[in-house]
Structure formats: C-alpha cells, structure tokens
C-alpha cells in the first residue's frame, strides 16, 4: 500500500511560509538604513539603535513567548504575531518623526517577530515529529534563509524603483492579507486535532509532550541555570546572534556600499548568501539526525570565523561573493543542532521556556552586533574592529560547543540513526 501524505508536512510548509514572510521583513532592515538616514537626518549609530531596540524587545519577549506557546499553543501565537508585524510595518509608511520609527519598528514589529519565531516552530516540530526532527527543523529554519533571499533583495529593488514607504506598504499587505489568513486557517497545534499520530508514531516522548501542563508543573528555572549544557548552548548562541542577524544582516549592505560595490553586486551577494544559507540549514538539519550536534556546532562556528577573515580582506566583487558563499553555508545552520540539543538535554523541563532563553541570548547578541559595529563605524569610519572582535568570540563559541556533554540519545533514536546510516 502507498503511504499516505502526512499532514505534518502541511504544518511544516505553513510554518516555513510564516517564517519566510515575518523574518524576511526583519532581515530586510539593512535595506532601509540609508533611506532612513536621509529622510530622518539620523547618523548610522542612531539607525543602529533602532535595530538594537528591536533585538532587545524581540529577545525579552522570547521566554514569555515560550510560556505562552506552552499554554495557548503555537497556532494562535504564530497567526496573531504575523498579523501584528503586517499591520505595524504598514503603519511605518505614515511616520514623519524618528521617535515614531523607534516605537513602531523597534517595539511593535519586534514583538510580532518574537512571536513568529523558531520557538513556536520548534514546539510544532516536536509535537508533529517523533522521527526526522532534524530535517523538519532544518526545513522550517530554511524559511529564514528564503525570506532573506527573496525579501531583502526584493526590498532593495523596490526602494530603488519606488521608495521605502511604498515598499513597507507592500510588505505589510503581503503579511496581513495573504500570510495571516493562511496560517490561521490551516495550522494545527497537535496531530490529535486531525485525528493523527505524529510522524514516527507513538514514542516515549509523547508522555512528555512540549506544552503539556504535567510536564511543566514541576519545572525549576534555577535547575536549568545550574547545568553547564545550558550555558554552553546559550553563550555560543549569543555569539551566533552577534555575528549573523546583528552584524551581517544589519551592516552587510552598508559594508558593501562602503567598499564601493554597486547595488547590483550588493544584491547578488545578499541573494547568494541567502541561497547558500538555505542549503546550509537543510544540510545541518539532515546531518543533525545522524551525527554529533556538538561536533557540528564546533565546525560551524570555526568556519564562520574563517569567513569573516575573507570579508576582512575583501577588495573586489569576487571576494565579496566568495564570502557570501562560505558565510551563507554556516549562517543559520547552527539553529537546528542547537535546538535539537536543547530538546534532548531539557526534555523533562519546559522546553518552550528553554528555547525562549536560547532565543533571548541570540537576540541580546543580535542587539549588540547591530549597535556596536554602528557605533564603532561612527568613531573610526570602518568596520575592522567589528570583524576582529567577531573572529575572537566565534573561536570561543567553537570551544564552548566542543565542551558540551555527550548527547543523550534514547535507544529508539539510536536504532533510527542506525537505519538512516
């Protein structure tokens, strides 16, 4: 008999679409830096402060979002958050003062982006998949890369052809009128709502399903804080945020412009980075199901440090594109193995909260990675200090990842890995 198509893959597609749209809008921030500098007479440091505020709000929301996902379910959180981002980004077209941009983008857009994040997405994967979780996490995380590949250069082109205000109107309508209804109508919190079992059938973890009240009733935050695996996941993930969504997603376009590259070369670099980001995300998800996640993370952080060495020595378009390829492969590829380790190390805790703390760390790193390079640029006129600092902290992140304890793998998971191999 032919195997039936499982609704879990519909869940993956819908979540992928939501992350593509919402996170793509967030990642397009760099495209608006120069237009906002011009229209609002702000310097690079002040513009970076908007991004910093955004990351702080996003990060602080994550533990709260994690608990709300545990209680209300990811469907409600994802759909309402998508609508909030759409309405808020649309309303930025009406602003005429810098403080309004801080409020609308820095606060309201960021709360929505925090809700439509991989915290809710990871909970969905854990509920719908008892097998192939690494692959599912990789596909969902690829939504970030797809949003980066489509919406960042798309926003750049629309700003050049039209203006930034028309661009945010288009983005807002896309989120509120197209993506939001789709998520609300078709997403489901749990296989039971469709009369199904998760992919892989029943397992021991079903007794400890993420979001169940029994699992979370005895949860102690301090118990998690006392475990070294918590800090050896959280600290490198903060470094990840500093060097990806903080430094590169905010400043790569201005860096390219500073090097004298044309808008066409810049758009090509962003698109190539995003395309290889998707490849890296999917590969890391597949490999995470088969190999040691701590070794994967060690390699990813080390290669990312080497990629910034390339950027530090970029003097022609070919070097910029080479950087885009290498950095893209390891950009968001750290997320799936990090989340997989978190669900294994803390499966008897409130995983939504743990994932929220991971995301908080990432966003704190992102906030610093957005603001400090902008500040250092205003003081020195270049990004060299930011590059050197990033290389050092990435090396430390690789070391911390290597010091993680051995993965806790159940007998069933070992048998599945043997079958896959």
> Both tokens of residue 419?
């079958």
Beta carbons within 8 Å of 194's beta carbon, 6+ residues apart:
7, 188
Percent of the chain whose predicted confidence (pLDDT) is above 70: 89
pLDDT in tens, 403-421: 888 765 554 444 444 444 4
pLDDT in tens, 226-283: 777 788 888 999 999 999 888 888 888 888 888 888 878 888 888 888 889 888 888 8
239 domain residue, yes or no: yes
Q: Tell which residue, 38, 271, 328, has the closest CA to residue 154.
A: 271
- Helices and strands in the chain: count of H runs, count of E runs: 21, 0
Residue 217 has pLDDT above 60, yes or no: no
pLDDT in tens, 158-172: 888 888 899 999 999
As a whole number, mean pLDDT of residues 174-187 equals 92
How many Å apart are CA 312 and CA 359, to the nearest integer?
A: 28
Q: Tell which residue, 377, 385, 366, has the closest CA to residue 29.
A: 366
**Alpha helix locations (H) across 129-262?**
133-161, 164-173, 180-186, 213-216, 221-225, 228-241, 249-258
Range of the domain at 230: 11-190+224-420
157 domain residue, yes or no: yes
Q: Name the strand (E) or helix (H) holding 326.
A: helix 317-330
pLDDT at 205: 47
133 domain residue, yes or no: yes
How many Å apart are CA 207 and CA 141, to the nearest integer?
A: 26
What one-character-per-residue DSSP string does 213-229 give?
HHHHTT--HHHHHT-HH
pLDDT band of residue 348 (cuts 50, 70, 90) is low
Q: How far is CA 206 from its chain centroid? A: 27
217 domain residue, yes or no: no
Average pLDDT, the chain: 82
Q: Give the CA angle between residues 242, 244, 245 to the nearest 5°.
A: 85
207 domain residue, yes or no: no
Q: In which residue are the tokens 């896959």 written?
A: 420
Question: Is 0.85 topped by the overall pTM?
Answer: no
How many Å apart are CA 197 and CA 227, to the nearest integer?
A: 33
Give burial (CB, 10 Å; 0-12/13-18/19+) of 3. exposed
**100 touches 153 (CB < 8 A):** no
Measured distance between the N- and C-terminal CA atoms of the chain, rounded to whole angstroms: 25
Q: How many domains, the chain?
A: 1
How many Å apart are CA 348 and CA 181, to the nearest integer?
A: 34
pLDDT at 221: 63
How many Å apart are CA 122 and CA 340, to the nearest integer?
A: 9
> Both tokens of residue 279?
């490849």
As a whole number, mean pLDDT of residues 217-234 equals 71
Residue 220 Rama label (left phi>0; alpha psi -120 to 50; beta): beta
141 domain residue, yes or no: yes
Residue 188 has pLDDT above 50, yes or no: yes
**273 touches 121 (CB < 8 A):** no
5 domain residue, yes or no: no
How many Å apart are CA 94 and CA 383, to the nearest integer?
A: 33
**244 touches 373 (CB < 8 A):** no
Q: In which residue are the tokens 């379910």 written?
A: 73
> Both tokens of residue 153?
């250069």
- CATH number of the domain where residue 155 is located: 1.20.1250.20
Could you give the dihedral angle defined by the CA atoms of residues 94, 96, 102 and 104, in that order, rounded to the nearest 10 degrees? -10
205 domain residue, yes or no: no
pLDDT band of residue 219 (cuts 50, 70, 90) is low
Secondary structure class of 118 (helix, strand, coil): helix
């Amino acid at each position: 008999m032919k195997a039936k198509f499982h609704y879990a893959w519909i869940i993956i597609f819908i979540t992928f679409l939501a992350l593509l749209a919402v996170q793509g809008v967030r990642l397009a921030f760099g495209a608006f830096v120069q237009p906002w500098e011009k229209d609002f007479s702000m310097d690079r440091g002040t513009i970076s402060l908007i991004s910093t505020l955004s990351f702080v709000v996003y990060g602080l929301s994550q533990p709260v979002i994690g608990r709300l996902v545990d209680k209300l379910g990811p469907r409600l959180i994802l759909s309402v958050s998508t609508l909030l981002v759409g309405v808020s980004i649309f309303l930025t077209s009406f602003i005429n003062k810098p403080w309004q941009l801080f409020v609308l983008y820095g606060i309201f857009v960021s709360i929505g982006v925090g809700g439509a994040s991989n915290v809710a997405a990871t909970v969905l994967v854990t509920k719908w998949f008892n097998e192939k979780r690494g692959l599912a996490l990789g596909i969902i995380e690829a939504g970030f890369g797809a949003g980066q590949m489509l919406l960042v250069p798309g926003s750049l082109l629309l700003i050049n052809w039209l203006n930034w205000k028309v661009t945010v109107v288009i983005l807002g309508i896309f989120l509120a009128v197209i993506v939001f209804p789709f998520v609300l109508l078709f997403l489901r919190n749990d296989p039971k709502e469709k009369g199904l079992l998760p992919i892989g059938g029943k397992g021991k973890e079903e007794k400890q399903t993420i979001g169940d009240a029994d699992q979370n009733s005895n949860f102690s935050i301090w118990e998690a804080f006392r475990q070294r695996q918590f800090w050896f996941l959280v600290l490198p993930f903060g470094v990840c945020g500093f060097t990806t969504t903080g430094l590169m997603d905010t400043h790569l376009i201005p860096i390219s412009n500073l090097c004298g590259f044309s808008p066409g070369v810049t758009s090509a670099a962003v698109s190539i980075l995003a395309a290889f980001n998707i490849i890296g995300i999917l590969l890391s998800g597949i490999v995470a199901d088969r190999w040691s996640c701590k070794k994967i993370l060690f390699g990813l952080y080390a290669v990312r440090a080497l990629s910034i060495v390339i950027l530090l020595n970029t003097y022609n378009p070919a070097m910029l594109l080479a950087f885009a390829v290498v950095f893209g492969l390891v950009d968001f590829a750290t997320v799936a193995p990090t989340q997989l380790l978190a669900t294994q190390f803390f499966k008897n805790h409130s995983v939504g909260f743990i994932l929220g703390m991971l995301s908080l760390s990432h966003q704190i790193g992102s906030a610093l990675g957005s603001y400090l390079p902008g500040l250092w640029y205003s003081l020195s006129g270049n990004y060299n200090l930011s590059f050197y600092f990033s290389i050092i902290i990435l090396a430390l992140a690789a070391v911390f990842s290597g010091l993680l304890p051995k993965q806790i793998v159940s007998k069933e998971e070992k048998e599945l890995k043997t079958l896959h191999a």
